[in-house]
Chains A and B, each alone.
Chain A
Amino acid sequence: MKTTPTLLAALLLGTLAHGALTPAPNNDGLILPPGFKAVVVADKLKPLRNIAVAPNGDLYAKTRKDGIYALRDTNGDGVADEVKEFGDGGGTGIAVHNGWLYESTDKDLYRYKLNAGELVPSGKPERIVKDLPNQGQHSAKVFAFGADGKLYVESGSPSNAFGGKNDRREGAKGEDPTEFLKTHGGYWRFDADRAEQTLADGQRFSTGHRHSTTIALNPANGKLFVAIHGRDQLSTVAPQFFSEKDNAENPSEVFHELNEGANFGWPFTYWDANTKQRKMNPEYGGDGKKLAEPGKYPDPLVAFPAHWAPMQLAFYTGKQFPAKYQGGAFLAFQGSWNRAPEPQKGYRVVFIPFDAKGMPTGEYETFADNFAGKAEIASPGDAAHRPNGVAVGPDGSLYISDSQAGRIWRIFYTGDAK
């Protein structure tokens, strides 16, 4: 029983750190690694997007269509005792940075001053970036702060593979994206403190991606990492080349380092998760076999299964979880819709290990599962919950938000495997 002393030590530390945190019965149905517990922070809120935790432990959660929730646990049991909603405009991105709460709608980015003691910011929001492209599809504007203190904001691509008016239809033909990519399909760099910037005031930092709702800074090496949603509907667009199974399994969700000038190959290519090759999209002459020009676009650092829908990414900066998690990252997958008639998949939070240099090892493992609440679902509407946001609290707990039924969990480690 080599593990016993470790478990005992962890249990003792856990008890000291979280004397009052009370796990939900059966961890609220979540499947977690041994020694981890879950408590429901809040439930039946509006559908939630990304979340952020302030240094004092106050939690902020974006709603997709409405305001921002501010949640505070005043007695330390893990359950939010104060839940307020403020602001409006919906959206996805949110972060606490240098005493400000930054948040994005689908076209603007604002910040509120966080004053000591205030759960809901008393000041008016200041608009930092305005009038970003918003055509509805792939319009979430996630953002992160780089090691340079600059603000990196996504502008997505409102299509599947730039197929014009027949995008997502059998026989869709790709158009020339040169002009389009000047304002879409990349990350733009802005000043984090200057008001009323437009896309033209920013610098296009990367290009050639379809849509990314995932960006975070690894504090270990100052590098930014992103995940990108792979394409949909291969078998719809080119049924002569792709079976429904090919569509369900092949077009990977990819994880990359965000380097200046990076081009991730959309709309011309996709990453085939099965053969581990970059292939041409059928909108641009692909037939399921034709490879992209070698070396033109970077290979992904991690390739996730097709259609899982990577959402918020959080590096584990805490000390509460066991050593293997420290320096790694958690990524929430909202779960698929485009795997039908195959069962839908995703609907989990994964852990991505990073090496001593702060780079991903290429592997990943499921950390929290059973959000869907059943073994197999045919449609996203059948899922009880869909994980969207992840954030690390000041005590090292991991918070997870739900875009389906508005629940928030706090995951903590006790070492008690029962």
Chain B
Amino acid sequence: MKIVASGLLILTLAACSKQEAPPAIAAAPAPAKPATPAVAPAPIAAPAAIAAPVAEIAAAPGGEAVFKKICATCHMADGSGVPYLQPSIKGSAWISNPDPQLLLSLILRGSAVLGEAAKAYDNDMPPLDNLSDAEIAAVATYVRGRFAAPPLTEPVTPAQVAIARARPGLPE
């Protein structure tokens, strides 16, 4: 699956290099096949796809606080990033993929997982594996609800984070 991963990187790069408009939906990577069939179903019933993201954000207490404390420092409170230094995360293909495993790998391992694509921006993102599974699940849920295009409302669970943490690299 190396080819697929490279394709995702290129798409991500394309998405990140556009600072304003989120990428067209057609440009987002194809939804990955469920990479983690072993994952327990989300504790909250799968939402009817168009549920209000705000409600779901409220269902992930702590996600906004983690975002403000950790993520917004570099990616800015509105997700707009800093030209040349840190990418905008609005509409990021990594966040917009319905399967959260790509996003979780990025959070846990930092920009090292982006490979060559990371060179589009000067600064490195450190691995945030010092955060707990619950904190990462909460912030992943929050950024998916706020920055994914279209917004993703299904909560990310600590169990999904644990799977990403146990995996050596990107999902297959």
List chain A positions with a Cβ less than 8 A from chain B.
47, 64, 136-139, 165-172, 233, 236, 239, 337-338, 340-341, 378-382, 403-404
Contact = CB atoms under 8 A, between A and B. Distances in A.
A38 B122 CA distance: 33
Contacts of B19: 381
Nearest to A106: B122
Contact of B124 (A167, A170, A239, A381): A167
A166 B122 contact: no
B73 A236 contact: yes
B41 interface: no
B69 to A, nearest CB: 8
B82 A337 contact: yes
Contact of A136 (B74, B80, B119): B119
Interface in B64-110: 68-70, 72-74, 76-78, 80-86, 88, 110
B85 A337 contact: yes
A169 B122 contact: no
Contact of B72 (A47, A137, A340): A340
A138 B69 CA distance: 24
Interface string B7-20: 00000000000010
Contacts of A170: 130
Contact of A340 (B77, B110, B122, B126): B77
A138 B122 contact: yes
Nearest to A337: B82
Contacts of B118: 136
A380 B123 contact: no
Contacts of A165: 110, 112, 126-127
Given A47-B83, A378-B77, A380-B83, A139 B122 contact: yes
B170 interface: no
Given A136-B119, A137-B122, A139-B122, A379 B78 contact: yes
Contacts of B70: 236
A341 B82 contact: no
The contact size tier of chain B is 20 to 34
A341 B68 contact: yes
Given A381-B82, A381-B83, A233 B73 contact: yes
Given A337-B85, A380-B83, A381-B19, A168 B126 contact: yes
Query: At the interface, is chain A mostly helix, strand, loop or mixed?
Result: loop
Given A378-B76, A379-B77, A169 B130 contact: yes
A403 B85 CA distance: 13
A136 B118 CA distance: 9
A404 B83 CA distance: 8
A379 B127 contact: no
A169 B73 contact: no
B168 to A, nearest CB: 16
B81 A381 contact: yes
Contacts of A380: 76, 82-83
A167 B126 contact: yes
A169 B128 contact: yes
B82 A379 contact: yes
Given A64-B84, A337-B82, A404-B83, A379 B123 contact: no
A340 B70 CA distance: 11
Contacts of B126: 165-169, 172
Nearest to A338: B73
A307 to B, nearest CB: 11
A169 B127 CA distance: 8
Contact of B122 (A136, A233, A236, A378): A136
B159 to A, nearest CB: 24
Given A137-B124, A166-B126, A381-B81, A340 B119 contact: no
A165 B126 CA distance: 6
B76 A340 contact: yes
Q: Which 3 A-B pairs have the closest CB atoms?
A: A169-B126, A379-B76, A337-B82
A338 B72 CA distance: 10
Contacts of B76: 337, 340, 378-381
Contacts of A172: 126
19 contacts: A47-B83, A136-B119, A137-B123, A165-B126, A168-B124, A169-B126, A169-B128, A169-B130, A172-B126, A233-B73, A337-B82, A338-B73, A340-B76, A341-B77, A378-B77, A379-B78, A381-B19, A381-B81, A404-B83
A159 B65 CA distance: 26
Contact of A378 (B78, B86, B88): B78
A39 to B, nearest CB: 26
B3 to A, nearest CB: 25
A56 to B, nearest CB: 32
A239 B69 CA distance: 10
Contacts of A167: 124, 126
